[in-house]
Structure 1
Amino acid sequence: MDTVAACGDVCRNVMCSAIPQNQHLHDQLIHSSKVISEHLLPSTTAYHEIWLNDLEEVKREGGPKKIKIGGDALVDAEPLYGPAYLPRKYKVVIALPPYNDVDVWAHDVGLIAIVENNEIVGYNVLVGGGMGTTHNNTKTYPRTGSMFGYVAYDKVHLVCEKIMLVQRDFGDRKNRKHARLKYTIDDMGVDVYKGKVEDLLGWKFEEPRPFRIDSNIDYFGWTKDENGNNHYTCFIENGRIEDTQEKPHKLGLKKIAQYMVKENVGEFRLTGNQHILISRIPDEHLSTIKSMLAEYKLDNLNYSQLRLSSSSCVAFPTCGLAMAEAERYLPVLVSKLEEELEKLGLRNDSVVMRMTGCPNGCARPWLAEVALVGKSYGFYNLMLGGSYIGDRVNKCFKTNIGW
């Protein structure tokens, strides 16, 4: 995560799989993420001018000076972004088969790691995914990424750059609802877009390598990596960390963080499905962490698979774009559905269910097996037919369903 270029019409933070079972492969994913992110950072000094003190002047004057806002900024050179930056935001994710916990088909660029002899040798490259739509505007739509082919591990940052440059030069700058890469690639055609990327690279993509994806959910509980360190995935419903009588999660995670800092062990990882991993815990600290998880009820995984596989956006009262409830209502809806699942013997069957308060798609509802997309307060479009691995857009089954 980087605070530079974390918003705006630039390459956003690069997200990779949180995979805890294989630390060597996770380290390689992190390396690729950092290389891509740093390679695509804007070159402007405006960020530093606005937010950072002149450290030399601070030392010289014996204290902080007034933070400078705007003023005598230089005109920066932006070799990648140019003076006008991109038509819209640009997102990159990296998945490690057989897991798709980042929804690799949902983003501008999705990279699928290819592993040989426990080494990531390269990536299959998906281009043109995107989720946001506008109700009643058929010119806006969700799209899954198109396969361009395979690229070697050490060339992936260059591929992400050239894909971005084609979008920079050919994306729609007049209509922001038509400015995402998914529309550019459909307007140009996949083969034409791919050809322009290859022209910039000076070489062609290889044929995609075989891979297998099994799911796009998180797997909870304890696991041990090849180095003997332990990792625990906590279920955080809809990503909301809070302190309640039933779930004092916020206090618990704070206590665990304080312990990890004091003992210089472990780390936290955030997953693409809104959950938290407590990672890299040596065996000698395992019993302490387990007791803290139990004390603050972070070890509770006694939920239906539907609840464990569900997610939502924040919606009301946090988001100004919300048209309907999502985060606060989805747990209520799941509870109602669990009663029926128990009767049908389906409590332990995983179904990917997502809810959003508007069609912008922050919880990626368009790829879920079952999804509810807010239309107005208390009313939703019911979407069905996405795939369990997240590679197929669902379809609207019924509109304006009430609570």
Structure 2
Amino acid sequence: MTDTINWKELSEVEKLKYDSNYLRGTLVESLADPITGAIADGDTQISKFHGMYLQWDRDLDKERKKQKLEPAFSFLIRLRMPGGRFTPEQWLKMDALAEKYANNTLKLTTRQTFQLHGVLKKNLKKTIQEMNDSLMDTIAACGDVNRNVMCHANPAESAFHSEVIDLAQKVSEHLLPNTTAYHEIWLDKKLIADSKTDVEPLYGDRYLPRKFKIGIVIPPNNDSDVFSQDLGFIAIIENAKIVGYNVSVGGGFGSTFGMSGTYPRTGTVIGFCTPGQVVDVAEKVLLTQRDNGNRKNRKQARLKYTIDRMGVEVFTSEVEQRLGYKLEPARAFKFERNGDDFGWKKGTDEKWHLTYFVEGGRVKDDGKQNIKTALREIAKISDGDFILTGNQNLIVSSVSEKVKKKVDTILKKNGVAPSELSGLRKNSIACVALPTCPLAFAEAERYLPTLISKVELILNDFNLFKEEIVIRMTGCPNGCGRPYLAEIGLIGKSPGYYNLYLGGSFEGTRLNTLYRETIPEEEILKEVRMLIADFAANRSEGEHFGDFVIRKEYVKEIKEGKDFKH
């Protein structure tokens, strides 16, 4: 069949994947090239399947050009860790690797895992090998495959946490690529010279048309933003038992300014499956996307576009045909929030769990607030685990009463004891953006905390400091920080200028809508003050900000992703 493919009709990446010898490419040669800190263009695409992105420090671009030097290339390395649970020993290993090979910081991502930034090409292999020594890997953390599987984060909020994290791990393992390229290139396993001995029973020789993301949630918590996922599983609890999961398909947020055929989309619930059917359903949805996704245009290749092109009913029918049975009708559920609930909680396991706010997900020391040092000290004395949340925060999980007291002491000593946060800051997310992301048009992680401080002054003026409002900022429209579900979304258009979006729901069930285009900070604050003043004076009892701006017709509710406009 492959011999009859007209490669000219397909995106260049399709031929690249096929020619890569099951994700080997020429990575070995690229890594050995001492002339550049980068890797070959084709290998830049293939390396994503191995969990890394080529980046460079854009803050240094002008100076390096003056010196006639190539960009300051380095790599982002992303871990695959379904459900985001790490042992103290693994935390210490990541802490040490950040100092040894990266930029001395850890980034907690919106997919419940770690990223290291600033890893030089010469250190890639050593970094991955040391991760592997601590039972961590980066396989399929990026690329056109199923990525890190998310699930509900907090054991103290649900007695079913252990069940869903086990399920996340099973799904992740089942959907892993089968190629041995990762182990050969990074872990020095025996090379398979003949690619015909490698087989990809799920992915084939060209893998998926685009990335694929899965999340599992336990209502009333929607902390994995299940409707942002290509495939979501919503736990249904009856008689103190998870009886099954509603299945949501077609979520996804990547889009492009000026290209109306690209848009964010929230997932569509297509039915219900039993716990024992989840892995099967995940496989069959993935296979349906593999065989029907758009391989000509990568900007139209995500599952959301496949479903909108085929129609939900036709897509569901094909999934069910592959399953050999029909999904049951979806069951009732209700979400209350998609953020994290901070502070200490005692779980049904009689252990203590601290949900801890990490601004922008960046774990670092600055001399006064030394969160990286504090967490290192906690890892050394912990008798529990660390769990990363889908909102860039951290749970010091499953510790004893004795260790709980020590944790509080360590945080206070390092100047990072939990403090009162505004409802806005608690519910903030920012992508990395500048200086390392090559796609960013504007700042996000480095700027959002400053903007929030200025908005907090407005909230104080109207006695709304504690009012919980979801705010998210990204440096481009690709949606890594899930800005399209925020009650206040800000997406960078150019340095210092952002599109302002309003009207997402507090529960993460509705897209927001463009309100103002390409505005600087001064105008952002002016608009926010006017909106907050109206909200304070005219909100209904218990009404959330996102619902208010739609009721007052500042923006219209978007019910279909196809209707979204930048």
Name the TM-score, length of structure 2 as normaliser: 0.67
- Residue 173 of structure 2 is matched in structure 1 by 38
- Residue 13 of structure 1 is matched in structure 2 by 148
Q: Could you list the runs of 4 or more consecutive aligned residues of structure 1 that deviate by over 3 angstroms after TM superposition? A: 70-75
- Residue 440 of structure 2 is matched in structure 1 by 322
How many residues end up aligned between the 2 structures? 386
Letter in 2 for 1:53: D
- Residue 93 of structure 1 is matched in structure 2 by 215
- Residue 238 of structure 2 is matched in structure 1 by 116
- Residue 386 of structure 1 is matched in structure 2 by 504
Whether 2:420 is the aligned partner of 1:302: answer yes
Counterpart pick for 1:402 among 520, 541, 549: 520
- Residue 228 of structure 2 is matched in structure 1 by 106
Q: CA offsets per residue over residues 23-75 of structure 1, 9 Å max, x none?
A: 64111011110111111111111222212234xxxxxxxxxxxx86x855554
- Residue 274 of structure 1 is matched in structure 2 by 392
- Residue 339 of structure 2 is matched in structure 1 by 217
Please, which moves more after superposition, 319-328 or 281-290? 281-290
**Cα distance in structure 1, aligned partners of 2:334 and 2:400:** 31
**Cα distance in structure 2, aligned partners of 1:294 and 1:227:** 26
Task: Tell me the SS of whatever aligns to 1:302.
Answer: coil
The aligned runs of 1:63-142 (5 Å cut-off) are 71=193, 73-142=195-264
- Residue 489 of structure 2 is matched in structure 1 by 371
**Cα distance in structure 1, aligned partners of 2:341 and 2:158:** 16
- Residue 170 of structure 1 is matched in structure 2 by 292
**Cα distance in structure 1, aligned partners of 2:196 and 2:261:** 40
- Residue 293 of structure 1 is matched in structure 2 by 411
Counterpart pick for 2:160 among 8, 22, 25: 25
Task: Tell me the SS of whatever aligns to 1:375.
Answer: strand
Deviation at 1:22, TM superposition (A): 4.8
- Where structure 2 has 5 or more consecutive residues not aligned to the other structure, the ranges are 1-80, 82-136, 522-566
Deviation at 1:303, TM superposition (A): 1.3
The aligned runs of 1:193-204 (5 Å cut-off) are 193-204=315-326
- Residue 337 of structure 1 is matched in structure 2 by 455
**Cα distance in structure 1, aligned partners of 2:434 and 2:193:** 38
**Cα distance in structure 2, aligned partners of 1:402 and 1:83:** 46
- Residue 121 of structure 2 is matched in structure 1 by none
More helix by share: 2
Letter in 1 for 2:160: L
**Cα distance in structure 1, aligned partners of 2:416 and 2:211:** 35
Kept after mapping to 1: 8 A contact 2:226/2:233? yes
Deviation at 1:196, TM superposition (A): 0.3
Letter in 2 for 1:139: G
Kept after mapping to 1: 8 A contact 2:154/2:395? no
Task: Tell me the SS of whatever aligns to 1:381.
Answer: strand
The aligned runs of 1:145-160 (5 Å cut-off) are 145-160=267-282
Counterpart pick for 1:238 among 360, 364, 369: 360
Kept after mapping to 1: 8 A contact 2:384/2:398? yes
**Cα distance in structure 1, aligned partners of 2:336 and 2:264:** 22
**Cα distance in structure 2, aligned partners of 1:349 and 1:78:** 50
**Cα distance in structure 1, aligned partners of 2:158 and 2:464:** 34
Letter in 1 for 2:513: K
Kept after mapping to 1: 8 A contact 2:155/2:162? no
Q: CA offsets per residue over residues 332-390 of structure 1, 9 Å max, x none?
A: 11111111101101111100000100000110001100011001111111001111111
Q: CA offsets per residue over residues 282-331 of structure 1, 9 Å max, x none?
A: 12322112211222233323111111111110111121111001111111
Kept after mapping to 2: 8 A contact 1:19/1:26? yes
Letter in 2 for 1:245: G
Kept after mapping to 1: 8 A contact 2:381/2:403? no
- Residue 283 of structure 1 is matched in structure 2 by 401
Deviation at 1:20, TM superposition (A): 2.6
Deviation at 1:13, TM superposition (A): 1.2
Letter in 2 for 1:360: N
Letter in 1 for 2:207: Y
Deviation at 1:85, TM superposition (A): 0.7
**Cα distance in structure 2, aligned partners of 1:366 and 1:378:** 20
Task: Tell me the SS of whatever aligns to 2:498.
Answer: strand
- Where structure 1 has 5 or more consecutive residues not aligned to the other structure, the ranges are 55-66
Name the TM-score, length of structure 1 as normaliser: 0.93
Distance 1:23 1:371, change over 3 A: closer
**Cα distance in structure 2, aligned partners of 1:236 and 1:194:** 39
Letter in 1 for 2:498: Y
**Cα distance in structure 1, aligned partners of 2:503 and 2:349:** 40
Percentage identity across aligned positions? 51
**Cα distance in structure 1, aligned partners of 2:517 and 2:446:** 21
Kept after mapping to 2: 8 A contact 1:111/1:123? yes
**Cα distance in structure 1, aligned partners of 2:193 and 2:380:** 41
Deviation at 1:3, TM superposition (A): 2.1
